[in-house]
Structures are given as C-alpha cells and as structure tokens.
Structure 1
Amino acid sequence: MFQQLGNKKSLSLQVEESLTEAIRSGKFSPGQKIPTENELCEIFNVSRTAIREAIKKMNARGILDVRKGSGAYVSEISVQNASETLNMFFELSSDKDLVRQTIKTRQLIEPLIAKEAAKVRSDKHIVLLTKNMEAMIRCDLEDKKKEADLDNDFHQILLSTTENSVLQLLISPIFNLMPKFKSSVFAKPNDGDLINEKNIMIKHHENILSAVSNQDSNAAYTAMKEHLETTYHNYLTFQP
C-alpha cells in the first residue's frame, strides 16, 4: 500500500511523500480515514514523532483533514479546499511586485470572463449584479473595507456565470486579495481622490453591467478592459 522508506530524506518527509502517493494513486479516497498513528508507526517502522510531523504538514497543505478525537481523513476534493492553498501563498508572499502582477493577470483574463458572462448570464445574475451596484452606491466613502468587499463580490458574480470550476479555482484566490490590495493602495489619498476613484469605479461597473445585461459580449469585453486599465493606473499613482 505504501512505498518503502529510503535513507536520504528525513523520516517525516518520507512518510509524508509515501502517504501523499498512496492518496494520489487512489488507495485512499476523499473522506476516507487513514490508518491511526500507531498503525502508521508499525507500517513505516518509525517513531510517532515522525508520523505526527508528516500528518501536520499534510494537514497544512490541505491534503488531510485532522479531526480531534477522530483521526486524520483524506480531504474532500473541492474548489474551496484547493483554492485555500493558493490563498495562503498570495497572503504570505513577500513579493513586493505581487500587486502589479496580480492586476496584469486580471487584465489578461477578466475581459474574457466579462465577454463570456454576457453570453451565458441568467436573470438571477443580473439581479445579483444590480443589488451589488446599489449597495456600492450606498456604501460610506470612509468604509473602504466594505467597498473593497463589494467590488470583489461584483467580479465574483461575473465569474460565477461561467460555471467553470477550474476557472474559479484559478481566479478566486486573486479576487480574494482585492480587498487587501485596495485597502493598502488607497490608504493615504485625500477625500477628493477617494470620491473620484469611487465614482469612476461605479461608472465602470455600470458599463459592465449594462453590457452583460444586454448580452453584448464585445461591449462587456471593452468595458472590463477599460476598468482594469484604470485600476492599474490607480495602483501606479497611489502605491506607497
């Protein structure tokens, strides 16, 4: 069931790799409980410390779900579980150029998402986008976190129209960074800058919503492209 352990790597790393390979090869299914610590100690002929360290790392990676008093289970496969690992990478990254790279990535992908949204959106999506716009307009200028969350939600709704779980896995972690990035980028501008920035964003969102609502895919593509070009310009202007 498990690969034999060698000598070149730490015991905990070897156990981790062997368990991971067993899961990858289908010997354990999502939701299935793996052998207990004592059983794994006997299987691998290693100490409990090595087993615990391996399980701890696999839990941190999202491969195992450790339940207190119950044991360790293979994590269920879902977009949310998979994207949490990417979320952790983005949140902990020390790359000072990450914001710029993130916006540039959005510029490549989101106009195409808006274009697709215009083709496949339902009436329910239009209702959600409209309510989001109304909440954005009512949002207090000083409540930058709420405004950033609403901005994030607008783009998440557009993404949801695609019903593409792979795309959601890749893009959602980037969207989840938006509130954090926006709060830092606009931390110091004066009220005039904030008012102007919000009004421009609302106008852009209105243009995107109008195009998606009218199922005008080319207009939706152009509106999103212009919106993200402005986002990039704002970042270059207001970054610390």
Structure 2
Amino acid sequence: MSAFEEGMKVKRMPVNEQVFENMKEAIKNGRWKAGEKIPSEIELSSMFDVNRLTVRTAMQRLIGMGLLETRVGDGTYVKEFSFGSYLERASEFYLGPELLDKVCEFRYAIEIEASRLAVVHATEQDIRILEDACEKFENLKRDYLEQPSEDTFKEIVKADTDFHKKICEASHNDLFVYAFLMFQELLNQYIHIVLQERLEYWKKRKKKGEPWSDLHRVICMAIRNHDFDACKRAYTDVIDYKIDLEK
C-alpha cells in the first residue's frame, strides 16, 4: 500500500476520544453556553451510551483546558474561555531558565513592532490607559524607593509587565496580544530580575539627588505624538536595560 493510500484510510477514533470531541463541540458551537450547567455524568453516560469513567475522563480534560469548571455540591458548568489564562497555565510546560537569554530578541521582534502599530492606531482611550498604567508604575516605584518591601516589589513587576501588555493591545492587532500572552510569564520572570538591578541603581541616584528619565512616560508621549523614532529609542533602552545602568 502506498503512503498516499495509507493516509486516505479512515481511522477509527477511540470511544473516550469521541466523547471528548462531542462535548468540546457542544461548547464550541454554543449548544452548551458559558455559565450554563451541563448534564450530569449519569445523564451524559446515557446520552453517549458509555460508562461514567469515560465521561469523567472527558470532563477532566475539558476542565484542564479551562472550558469547564466543577462547583462542589452543584455540578459542572461551562466557563467563559480565556485564551490568556489558558496560555498562562500552559507556560510552565515550555518555560525554562535557558529561555531567559532569548527574551531581549523576542521583545525586539514583538514589542517594538507592536509599539510602531500603536503609534499609528492607538485611540485616545488607549493612550489614557497607557498613561494610567505608567502612573501606577511610577507611584509604586516611588513607594518602593521610600520604603522597600517584597509586596511592593511584586506589584512593580506586575505593573511593568502590564504596561507592556497594554502597548500590544494598543496596536489593535490580536496576534501581537496573543504572542505577548504566550511569553508573559517568562517576561514577568525577566522583569523581576531586571528590576532588582534597576531599583538598586535608582536608589543610588536618588541618594545623590540625580534625576533619571522615566522611559515609560517617554514611550507614552511618543505614542501620543505619533513619533515612532522617539518611541523606538525609548523602547530600545527599556529592553537593553544595561544601557541605562551604564549611564
């Protein structure tokens, strides 16, 4: 039999896979809507003419995918699917220390291009959201420099990551947002490392009474002014954080 003929053979799908696909399709096409309680294991077993273990296995897979949730003492419900939360849960399977070294290259490819689109497409509302995110980061940084704490540091890392996510959202290109979500957890780890060094640098400058430029604010202003050259320069300094530390 040729490879072509082999590929044309109809493959039988295991029963448990059929149940899983049918349940997933019921969610995908809206027969089971978000927030709706699905039939019980007994009811589904009867519907599919399979045993309860087969149904339970399919349900657990869908729960793991973030499509279903079990409410104790109540039943199983369809969840509002979030692509971002799904990627965040999956990130532990593809993230590793060796990838941290690749973050800068990835940020150049994704974030700077997203910022170029933001310069073109950002609405007034997008810019205000960016400015609010920028102000939140600045306030947290000020609080930390006055009274360092681990909780404040974690909030700064989150605020920094969130600012860059909003740049991607302001590009009005969903693929950039999805790409960011795929590496958001890795970026969070990277920013955690970078900010530890950067905050020490800012502390030293603060003690000397020396000013420093807030690059987030510069990026916001550049997007407002439709000035990609200024935006790119500031964003490059954000990514190549050692440039700032060596000044």
8 Å contact kept, 2:158–2:188: yes
Give a deviation string over 1:108-131, Cα, whole Å, max 9, x none: 111122223333242523541441
Q: Give the deviation of 1:212 after TM superposition.
A: 2.0
Distance in 2 (alpha carbons) for counterparts of 1:14 and 1:232 = 56
1:178 aligns with 2:182: no
CA displacement 1:73-129 (0-9 Å, x = unmatched): 33324xxx1111110122343533232344432221111222233332425235414
Q: SS in structure 2 opposite 1:97? A: helix
Partner of 1:71: 75
Match of 2:154 in 1: 145
Shift of 1:185: 6.1
Letter in 2 for 1:145: K
CA distance change for structure 1 residues 20 and 183 in 2, over 3 Å: closer, same or farther? same
Q: 2: distance between equivalents of 1:103 and 1:200?
A: 26
Does structure 1 residue 42 correspond to structure 2 residue 43? no
Alpha-carbon distance change, 24 to 97 in structure 1, aligned in 2, over 3 angstroms: same
In the other structure, the counterpart of 1:218 is 229
Distance (whole Å) between structure 2 residues aligned to residue 132 and residue 67 of structure 1? 36
Deviation at 1:232, TM superposition (A): 11
Contact 1:58 1:64 in 2 (8 A): yes
TM-aligned CA deviation for residue 182 of structure 1: 3.1
Q: 2:84 matched to which residue of 1?
A: 83
User: Which runs of 5 or more residues in structure 1 are unaligned?
Assistant: 1-5, 235-240
Q: Which amino acid aligns with 1:89?
A: A
TM-score by length of 1: 0.71
Partner residue of 2:25 out of 21, 28, 31: 21
TM-score of the pair, normalised by structure 2: 0.70
Give the Cα separation in 1 of the matches to 2:213 and 2:155.
14
| 2: CA distance, partners of 1:175 / 1:161 | 16
RMSD of aligned alpha carbons:
3.8
Q: How big is the shift at 1:222?
A: 3.4
Distance 1:177 1:149 in 2: 12
User: Is the 1:15–1:50 contact (alpha carbons within 8 Å) kept by the matching residues of 2?
Assistant: yes
Amino acid at match of 1:218: D
Q: Structure 2 matches for 1:229-240, cutoff 5 A?
A: 229-230=240-241
> After superposition, what is the alpha-carbon deviation per residue over 1:177-202, rounded to whole angstroms, capped at 9, x for unaligned?
43333335666x69856757999995
The Cα of 1:176 is off from its aligned counterpart by: 4.5
Name whichever of 158-167 and 58-67 sits farther off.
158-167
User: Could you tell me how far apart the structure 1 residues matched to 2:84 and 2:212 are?
Assistant: 27
Q: Tell me if structure 2 keeps the 8 A contact 1:136–1:202.
A: no
2:19 partner amino acid: V
- For the residues of structure 1 that align with 2:189 and 2:181, how far apart are their CA atoms? 14
8 Å CA contact 1:107, 1:229 repeated in 2? no
In our comparison, the structure showing a higher alpha carbon Rg is 2
Moved more, 197-206 or 118-127: 197-206
Whole-angstrom distance in 1 between the partners of 2:103 and 2:44: 42
Counterparts in 2 of 1:136-215, with a 5 A limit?
136-141=140-145, 142-143=148-149, 144-184=153-193, 195=203, 203-215=214-226
When structure 1 is superposed on structure 2, of 191-200 and 171-180 the one drifting more is 191-200
Following superposition, the deviation at residue 58 of structure 1 comes to 0.5
Structure 2: give runs of 5+ residues left out of the alignment: 1-10
Amino acid aligned to 2:170: T
Q: Distance in 2 between matches of 1:104 and 1:161?
A: 21
Say which SS state the counterpart of residue 140 (structure 1) adopts: helix
